[in-house]
Amino acid sequence: MTFKAVKSRFSLILAFIMTAGIISGCSSTSTEGDSLTVYSGQHEEFMEPLFEAFTAETGIKLDVRYGDSAALAAQILEEGENSPADVFLSQDAGSLGAVGAAGLIRELSADLLNRVPSIYQSVTKDWVGITGRARVFAYAPDRVASLPTSIDDLVTKTWNGRVGIAPTNGSFQAFVSAMIQERGAAATEIWLQGIKNNNPKIYEKNSQIVEAVDAGQIDLGLVNHYYVWEVSEELGRDINAKIGFFQPGDMGNLINVSGGSILKQSKKESLANQLLAYLLSDEVQKSYVTDTHEYSLVFADLKPADLPALSEIKAPAIDLSTLAGLKATQELLVKVGLI
Amino acid sequence: MSESAPASNSRQVPIALSIGALFSLSFIAIPLIYLIRRALESDGRSISILVWRPKTLEVLITTLSLTAVVVVLATVIGVAMAWSLHSVKIPLPNLFRALVILPIAIPSYVFTFSWISVFPQISGFWAAVFILVLSTTPYVLLAALAGLRRVDWSQYEVAQTLGLNNWESFLRVTWPQIRNSVAAGALLVALYVLSDFGAVALLGVDTFTRAISNLYRGSFDRSTAAVLALILVIISAIIISLETRLRTKTKLQRTSARIIRLPNLISKTRTKLISILLLVIYLATGLVFPLALLFYRFFANAVQVDYSELFSASISTIFASALGALIALALALPLGLLVMQGSWLARVADKGVLIVHALPGIVMGLALVSFGSEISWLYQSVGLLAFSYALLYTAKSVGSVRTSLARVPQNLIDISATLGQTKMQTLRRVVFPLAAPGVLSGSLLVFLSAMKELPATLMLRPTGFETLATEMWRYTSISRFSEAAPYALFLVLIAAIPTFLINRPDKGESEEGDMR
């Protein structure tokens, strides 16, 4: 290759970069009128239609940055007071709690907080739950004759080598934190050790567990309830995995929430308020149940198809705001050797 | 310095270059300073619990053995394939040469997902070895090819007439001459393994990078995560110095840029078959299989493709990655020129670039968030995003820049000086033209790596700026692989274009620089 060739190719590349820059520059959003910057750990696929409807209704433009909830929380922690975000929406209570513990989000108005029962919001009133996700077990109906009634059944010999868990996943860790809160660290360690001794299969994500149940690698796995739909929708067919609940009141039936908060440094509190109020409105709460198969926190009796209603599950009463970053949880999981 | 500066003055380091190198050095320092600052925030007690727990030793052993096994396998396979491409008469050599580089463009999480969705039982150490060898072999292969191109085949033939067989001649004549290039490629493999998250996370292998991410995710504990990241920095520093030690100090003596005798291509049927088989197996597992699987998922559950989104994500990807490659080049050029002149400053910066390369994307992302959010006009701009790519991947171009420059014969520079050319003129008219092809291929590697980067991209992109990698993440994070397929496909297609350009068939022996 001669230098001339390289040079002409180089200028070609440069020209291309500049054109690309101009094109992508043009498509960037202008910030006229009212606008809000939203950091959303809730998925684009589900949120985009809601956000568009919100903008159409209120005229408030939204600049949404999607990401993994925990990574967005870490980002907000790094940005501190310089954060461009006005609203932080998270998939789980833990990420909201971490940002709250750093004092970066503000107390919400009573109007917002009163929409949902107080167990689904922060005790310091700086975040509010939006939807509920139930911890359940996914199982293969043809291979599981009698369903477990309690999380404690899973440490018995019957389940040796048949169970899948995702111990590095936030949803599993939130469950362990809840167990520590309810039963204490010593009892939780015994349960974790029991699970460990039962040779569970370890996965990174909930969806992998559901796929593994469907594929016959495991008979039962601990997941959030909506993953069974998610996997079935992806594969475009019915899958050999069903949702099961432990008996009402059992530790295994934890309800975790997705939620929203307003950043302390935001100068647009009233606009941000409008957005959270919209997400908690009757109409949107109903659409969550039908579209994303999540639980509404406003209507305790609405239920995703074929599932018991939130009011029937009788989840253990856990302080969700303390599920964030429990060092004890990580330490226990490390000690037992599950992560 | 007067215009007719004699050649002996070329040891004096131009001040502009030193300033350039200082800039590069201070940029590289950003993530390291960030880590030290965060690490110092944690209390000593929790650090010592973290560092001295048995699990840390376990993670250390896993990380080191994974790195070692992948490096050895990738080196053997990479060198074997390079040798096949260089000295065996195989059909469609240029097509093969371009295709074997393309696995670099496939993100490791996509790679891993495609395999575990067909063979869900694979997990653990050896599965990670398999996946990582597939995705890193091209680095060794490129380095070995570049090395082989500089080997004068007449020596090889002398060895044969002295009664050595092919294998012995390779070991005693060819290998010593390509060893340094191969070691440089192997180093890139090692640093890749250290920083990889996608494969080890999905396959459940506890390396430092996974442990660091788990800390951020599980407990939002930035200071202990920083401590682990600093341990990772130390490990990479040790590996880097190992490679430096392995490198022999032989200098190739040549009088012009192109005097090499090319090999007479081996056309023995058995050798040909084995070579072709090796290349085909590699391409089948490393390129065709993951793409075929994505296609399959795409067609099994066909969804409407949003072409305007696909198009704008492609443009954004190309723009940000190419800008990143340009910045990387701007950082690497002064370093390369200075290392050539033996400047200690450049040597330090040179190693720093490599250390930063081994950092997990999430660490680089957070470091630049912490640094960038102070400067509101810069924060979440394409410029800062491209800058993060440059910091993460300059290591991939700095080597090729350096070796390409080193290959410019000193006597040509001297002649240019005696003909009354200034230093700048000599650089422009003699040095750059000869070094250009190698420099370009180094920039290509930066470009290919930047295209698939995810964790730093999610944090640093302008809000609403979607790249192919973020679009893929958008779907894969809710397990919709069928919808991610078109984006993955475009990633590979876009990667293919510059790769083919650099391997233009009509250019015959296109000179690729090695990577360091």
pLDDT in tens, chain A (339 residues): 455 555 666 666 666 666 666 555 544 444 456 899 999 999 998 899 999 999 999 999 999 999 989 899 999 999 999 999 999 999 988 889 889 989 999 999 999 999 999 989 999 999 999 999 999 999 999 999 899 999 999 999 999 999 999 988 888 988 998 899 889 999 999 999 999 999 999 888 898 899 999 989 899 999 999 999 888 888 888 999 999 999 988 999 999 999 999 999 999 999 999 999 999 999 999 999 988 889 999 998 888 888 888 888 888 888 887 776 567 787 788 778 787
Tell me if A273 sits within 8 A of A112, measured CB to CB: yes
Chain B residue nearest residue A204, CA to CA: B202
Domain match, A297 and A148 both: no
**Nearest chain A residue to B124, by CA:** A202
Say yes or no: A264 and A192 in one domain: no
pLDDT tens readout for residues B195-229:
999 899 888 898 999 988 888 877 677 888 899 89
For B120, which of A10, A211, A231 is closest by C-beta distance? A211
Tell me the nearest-neighbour CA distance from A334 into chain B, angstroms: 7
Q: From the list B218, B369, B511, which residue is nearest A75 (CB)?
A: B369
Would an 8 Å CB–CB cutoff place B437 in contact with chain A? yes
Q: How far apart are CA A36 and CA A271, in angstroms?
A: 7
Residue A6 belongs to some domain of the structure: no
Same domain, A210 and A121: no
Same domain for A64 and A200?
A: no
Domain membership of residue B119 as a residue range: 40-507
As for how many domains chain A has, the answer is: 2
Nearest to B214 among A23, A80, A339 (CB): A339
A80 touches chain B (CB under 8 A): yes
Do A57 and A195 belong together in one domain?
no
Confidence band (pLDDT; 50, 70, 90) for B461? very high
A24's CB contacts (< 8 A; 6+ apart) are: B312, B315, B316, B319, B382, B465
Q: What residue has token string 């498509």?
A: A27
- The neighbouring-strand residues paired with B30 are none
Please indicate if any CB of chain B lies within 8 Å of the CB of A280.
Answer: no
Output phi, psi for A298, to 5 deg. -85, -40
Name the residue facing A73 among B220, B362, B502 (closest C-beta).
B220
Do A98 and A242 lie in one domain? The reply is: no
**Quick one: A183 and A83 in the same domain?**
no
For residue B215, is it within any domain? yes
> CB-based contact (8 Å) between A236 and chain B?
yes
- Give ipTM to 2 decimals: 0.85
What's the CATH code of the domain at A201? 3.40.190.10
Q: Which of B38-47, B53-62, B175-184, B371-380 has the lowest mean pLDDT?
A: B38-47
Alpha-carbon distance A265 to nearest alpha carbon in chain B (angstroms): 13
Which residue range(s) make up the domain with A273? 35-132+257-308
Task: Dig out the tokens for B345 from the structure.
Answer: 């400053």
Q: What is the mean pLDDT of residues B132-149?
A: 90
Q: Are residues A66 and A137 in the same domain?
A: no
Sign of CA dihedral B357, B363, B366, B367: negative
- pLDDT score recorded for residue B222: 83
- Among A7, A16, A23, A24, pick the best mutation site for testing chain B contact (most B Cβ within 10 A): A24
| CATH number, position B308 | 1.10.3720.10
pLDDT tens for each residue of B84-100: 998 888 888 888 988 99
Residue B186 lies in a domain: yes
- Give domain status of residue B109, yes or no: yes
Residue A44 to residues A263, B109, B490, Cα–Cα distance (Å): 21, 20, 21
* B385-427 tens-digit pLDDT: 999 999 999 988 877 777 777 777 777 778 888 888 877 788 7
- For residue B2, tell me if it sits in a domain: no
Task: Tell whether A294 and A223 lie within a shared domain.
Answer: no
Cβ contact (<8 Å) for B458 and A27? no
Express as a percent the part of chain B with pLDDT over 90: 36
Yes or no, beta carbons of A37 and B463 under 8 Å apart? yes
Tokens encoding B232: 């990772």
Q: Do the Cβ atoms of A329 and B462 come within 8 Å?
A: no
Residues of chain B with pLDDT > 70, as a percent, come to 91
B319 inside 8 A of chain A by CB: yes
**Assigned token pair, B142:** 């490129």
User: Are B131 and B199 within 8 A, CB to CB?
Assistant: yes
Name the more confident of A322 and B39: B39
Across the interface, do A80 and B373 touch by the CB < 8 Å criterion?
yes
Residue contact A82–B218, C-beta within 8 A: no
User: ∠ at Cα B230 (B227, B235), nearest 5°?
Assistant: 130
> A13 lies in a domain?
no
- What are the start-end ranges of the H helices in A29-142? 44-58, 69-79, 93-101, 110-113
Asked if residue B20 belongs to a domain, the reply is no
Res. B507: pLDDT tops 60: no
Look at residue A5 and tell me if it is in a domain.
no
Taking an 8 Å cut-off on Cβ atoms, the answer to whether A236 and B482 are in contact is yes
B430 within a domain of the structure (yes/no): yes
CB interface of B with A, residues 129-168, below 8 Å? none
Q: Which of B49, B214, B217, B465 to mutate to test the interface with A (most CBs of A within 10 A)?
A: B217
Q: Give domain status of residue A317, yes or no.
A: no
Q: Nearest Cβ partner of A170 from B217, B316, B433?
A: B217
CA-based nearest distance A157→chain B, Å: 22
pLDDT at B436 over 70: yes
Q: What is the arithmetic mean of pLDDT over B255-277?
A: 74
Mean pLDDT, rounded, of chain B: 84
Q: What is the mean pLDDT of residues B39-55?
A: 78
Helix (H, G, I), strand (E, B) or coil at A87: strand
Smallest CA–CA distance, residue B122 to chain A, in Å, is 11
Q: How large is the average pLDDT for residues B128-145?
A: 93
Q: Does A96 touch chain B (CB under 8 A)?
A: no
Contacts 24+ apart (CB under 8 A), A11-16: A13/B322, A16/B318, A16/B322
Residue A23 resides in a domain: no
What's the gap in Å between the CA of A25 and the closest CA on chain B? 9
Residue of B202, B216, B315 lying closest to A74 (CB–CB): B216
Instruction: Give the one of A65, A74, A79 whose C-beta lies nearest to B463's C-beta.
Output: A65
Distance from C-alpha of B76 to C-alpha of B384, rounded to nearest angstrom: 38
Read off the pLDDT band of B6 (50, 70, 90).
Answer: very low
Q: Is residue A111 part of a domain?
A: yes
Asked if B501's CB is within 8 angstroms of A65's CB, the reply is no
Q: Is A62 on the interface with B (CB under 8 A)?
A: no
Question: Rounded to an integer, what distance in angstroms lies between the CA atom of residue A145 and that of residue A195?
Answer: 20
Q: Nearest by CB to B319, which of A21, A67, A211? A: A21
> Does some domain include residue B17?
no
Contact A230 B479 (CB under 8 A): yes
Burial class (CB in 10 A: 0-12, 13-18, 19+), B489: middle
Residue A287 lies in a domain: yes
**16-55 in chain B: CB under 8 A from chain A:** 46, 53, 55
Residues A219 and A331 in one domain: yes
Most B CBs within 10 Å: which of A12, A105, A204, as the mutation test of the B interface?
A: A204
Is there a single domain that holds both residue A199 and residue A262?
no
Are A141 and A212 in the same domain? yes
Sorted by sequence, the CB contacts under 8 Å of residue B253 that are 6+ apart come out as none
Q: How many CB atoms lie within 10 A of CB B115?
A: 22
SS3 B340: helix
A44 contacts in chain B (CB < 8 Å): 474
Number of domains in chain B: 1
Q: What's the CA gap between A59 and A32, in Å, rounded?
A: 11
Closest to A334 (Cβ–Cβ): which among B55, B217, B374?
B55
Whether residue B67 has pLDDT greater than 60 = yes
pLDDT confidence of B514, banded at 50, 70, 90? very low
Chain B, nearest residue to A324 by Cα: B219
Distance CA A236, CA B300 (A): 8
Q: How many CB atoms lie within 10 A of CB B46?
A: 15
Instruction: State the pLDDT at residue A129.
Output: 95
| Torsion angle of the four alpha carbons B293, B294, B296, B301, in this order, in degrees rounded to the nearest 10 | 140
Check B465 against A28: CB less than 8 A apart: yes
Phi, psi for residue B88 in degrees, rounded to 5: -115, 145
Selected residue of A36, A46, A75 to mutate for chain B interface (largest B Cβ count, 10 A) = A75
d(CA B395, CA B328): 9
State the SS3 of B200-232: HHHHCCCCHHHHHHHHHHHHCCHHHHHHHHHHH
Residue A95 resides in a domain: yes
Residue B384 burial by Cβ neighbours in a 10 Å radius (0-12, 13-18, 19+): buried
A187 vs B: CB within 8 A: no
Radius of gyration of chain B (CA): 23
Q: Which residues of A touch B436 (CB under 8 A)?
A: 1, 3, 6-7, 10
Residue B233 counted as domain residue: yes
Could you give the CA distance from residue B242 to residue A17 in angstroms, rounded to a whole number? 38
